[in-house]
């Protein structure tokens, strides 16, 4: 008999009471022997065990994983719950391996063999297929049940990983699709790069061809400028001859005078002799200066070094070369130069070439007009330089005006076109104004032309000054 007693401290104690009868001669119970055992610890252990079993059973029964107990042959001894379509009663006693698809059966058995040999946990993945064809993916962890050092069975915890597997498969499909797109895009980019490289090569070849064409065009431009410059020198030959003839006549006269004096025994003082010789040297220097100027003017047209120059000095230099020629042709040349000492950044010989070209054009224009029988006006060319304020900056203007034939309105827009000319073939190349405009624009300036037919023409050069 079990009974509950309380000790002197009021603590509950579980006791087990045992009684034995004592019989007399007539076999009747005459006395009773009784003893009591304190089974509190045993009872508490039993209750703790029952509580633990209840906890673990609850944990196993409520686990979302499939927990299975097998013997060492793989027969199912216990399972907490089964897949839909099967009951525990149907499953218990059957082989665990019967529920694996054929292609996973060997993988499953190999895992159990490893656990059996090593007594260590292992895992495997498998697929269960129901009668309706639905597949469930499982990840199973196998643990050994060991007794006396021998594996007598297995515990299997199988987790449904179908959703994870589906996500992995979807991720793989996305990855494969992305890889396909990447490969396709890579091919497109490679094709685009190949086309771009071909285009770059074509562009480089075109650039090289353009550079060659530009170089040849520049060479032709230099040749044309040199030809036009030499033509200008040819036009100025009369003036240059006149400029050289004057000092030559003086030198010859002085030398002949000295020779006559020596032949006749004139008493010429040393001071007088020095004076005559000094005059000869002075005239020789003048000729040397004219020759040097012509040589520098005729130098290669491609040498376009620019530096600070005085505009009026360049204008006067050009006038000196043409002055005698214009006088010989009865053309009145008037010049009005600004009193200020104006400086510009330019090449002096190129600027002089422009002015000479414009003066030669003016000369041809007035000669064309006075060649008409009914014309009685005085042939006149006027050259002016003046300072002006433009857009808060100082500029100098060089203006050449003639009262020649002028230019017809219908051809006025063509005068700057290369090779366009109204002169006879032996009088012009049609490059003068084109080259003149190009040179002035290189100096940061502007060249403009206004003309009225049978009244005359005005050409204006505007250059930025270096003076404040």
Give the pLDDT confidence score for residue 155 in this predicted structure. Answer: 93
Confidence of residue 183 (pLDDT cuts 50, 70, 90): very high
Give the pLDDT confidence score for residue 344 in this predicted structure. Answer: 92
DSSP 379-410: PEEEEEEEEEEETTEEEEEEEEEE-S----GG
Give the pLDDT confidence score for residue 285 in this predicted structure. Answer: 72
Give the pLDDT confidence score for residue 426 in this predicted structure. Answer: 55
Confidence of residue 375 (pLDDT cuts 50, 70, 90): low
Confidence of residue 92 (pLDDT cuts 50, 70, 90): very high
> Phi/psi of residue 161, each to 5°?
-115, 25
Mean pLDDT of 433-453: 90
Segment 293-345, tens digit of pLDDT? 666 555 544 556 788 999 999 999 888 878 878 888 889 999 999 987 789 99
Mean pLDDT of 9-13: 87
Q: Hey, which bits of 130-167 come out as E strands? A: 135-147, 150-160
Segment 23-67, tens digit of pLDDT? 888 888 888 888 888 888 888 888 888 888 777 777 777 788 889
**Orientation of helix 162-235 relative to helix 270-297, angle to 10°:** 140
The contacts of residue 298 (CB under 8 Å, 6+ apart) are 229, 230, 233
| Distance linking the first and last C-alpha atoms of the chain | 133
b/e code 224-247 from CB counts within 10 Å (16+ = b):
bbeebbebbbebbeebbeebeeeb
b/e code 173-212 from CB counts within 10 Å (16+ = b):
eeeeeeeeeeeeeeeeeeeeeeeeeeeeeeeeeeeeeeee
CA 190 to chain centre: 19
Segment 231-269, tens digit of pLDDT? 665 655 555 665 566 667 777 777 777 778 777 777 767
Q: Report H helices in 236-269.
A: 237-264
d(CA 332, CA 316): 16
- Take residue 239 and report the two structure tokens written for it: 């003036």
- Please determine, for residue 428, whether its predicted confidence score (pLDDT) is greater than 80: no
d(CA 95, CA 76): 6
Give the pLDDT confidence score for residue 235 in this predicted structure. Answer: 58
- Please determine, for residue 187, whether its predicted confidence score (pLDDT) is greater than 60: yes
Confidence of residue 131 (pLDDT cuts 50, 70, 90): confident
More confident residue, 50 or 383: 383
Segment 259-302, tens digit of pLDDT? 787 777 777 677 877 877 887 887 777 677 667 666 655 554 45
Q: Most distant CA pair in the chain: distance in Å?
A: 214
The Cα-based distances of 268 to 278, 283, 290 in angstroms read 15, 21, 32
For the chain, what percent of residues have pLDDT higher than 90?
33
Mean pLDDT of 447-467: 91
Q: Tell me the domains of the chain and their CATH numbers.
A: 2-45 (no CATH), 64-160 (3.30.450.20), 305-464 (3.30.565.10)
- Take residue 151 and report the two structure tokens written for it: 């594996």
d(CA 209, CA 205): 6
């Amino acid at each position: 008999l079990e009974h509950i007693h309380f000790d002197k401290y009021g603590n509950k104690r579980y006791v087990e009471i045992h009684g034995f009868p004592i019989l007399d001669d007539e076999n009747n119970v005459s006395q009773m022997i009784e003893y009591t055992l304190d089974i509190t610890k045993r009872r508490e252990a039993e209750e703790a065990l029952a509580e633990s079993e209840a906890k673990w059973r609850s944990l196993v029964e409520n686990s979302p994983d499939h927990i299975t107990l097998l013997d060492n042959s793989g027969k199912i001894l216990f399972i907490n719950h089964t897949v839909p379509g099967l009951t525990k009663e149907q499953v218990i006693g059957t082989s665990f391996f019967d529920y694996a698809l054929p292609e996973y059966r060997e993988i499953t058995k190999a895992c159990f063999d490893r656990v059996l040999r090593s007594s260590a946990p292992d895992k495997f993945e498998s697929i269960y297929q129901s009668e309706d064809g639905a597949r469930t993916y499982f990840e199973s962890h196998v643990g050994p049940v060991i007794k006396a050092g021998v594996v007598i069975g297995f515990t299997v915890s199988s987790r449904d990983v179908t959703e994870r597997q589906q996500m992995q498969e979807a991720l793989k499909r996305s990855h494969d699709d992305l890889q396909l797109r990447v490969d396709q895009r890579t091919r497109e980019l490679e094709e685009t790069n190949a086309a771009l490289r071909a285009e770059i090569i074509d562009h480089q070849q075109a650039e090289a061809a353009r550079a060659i064409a530009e170089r040849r065009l520049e060479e032709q431009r230099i040749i044309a400028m040199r030809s036009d410059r030499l033509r200008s020198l040819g036009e100025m030959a009369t003036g240059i001859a006149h400029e050289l003839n004057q000092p030559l006549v003086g030198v010859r006269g002085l030398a002949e005078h000295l020779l006559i004096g020596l032949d006749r025994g004139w008493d010429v003082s040393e001071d007088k002799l020095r004076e005559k010789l000094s005059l000869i040297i002075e005239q020789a220097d003048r000729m040397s200066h004219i020759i040097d100027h012509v040589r520098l003017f005729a130098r290669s047209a491609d040498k376009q070094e620019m530096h600070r120059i005085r505009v009026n000095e360049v204008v006067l230099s050009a006038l000196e070369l043409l002055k005698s020629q214009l006088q010989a042709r009865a053309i009145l040349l008037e010049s009005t130069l600004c009193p200020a000492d104006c400086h510009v950044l330019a090449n002096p010989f190129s600027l002089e070439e422009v002015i000479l070209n414009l003066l030669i054009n003016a000369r041809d224009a007035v000669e064309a007009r006075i060649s008409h029988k009914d014309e009685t006006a005085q042939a006149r060319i006027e050259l002016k330089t003046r300072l002006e304020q433009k857009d808060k900056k100082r500029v100098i203007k060089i203006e050449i005006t003639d009262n020649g034939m002028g230019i017809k309105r219908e051809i006025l827009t063509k005068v700057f076109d290369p090779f366009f000319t109204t002169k006879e073939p032996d009088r012009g190349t049609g490059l003068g104004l084109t080259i003149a405009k190009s040179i002035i624009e290189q100096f940061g300036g502007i060249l403009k032309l206004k003309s009225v037919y049978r009244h005359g023409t005005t050409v204006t050069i505007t250059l930025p000054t270096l003076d404040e």
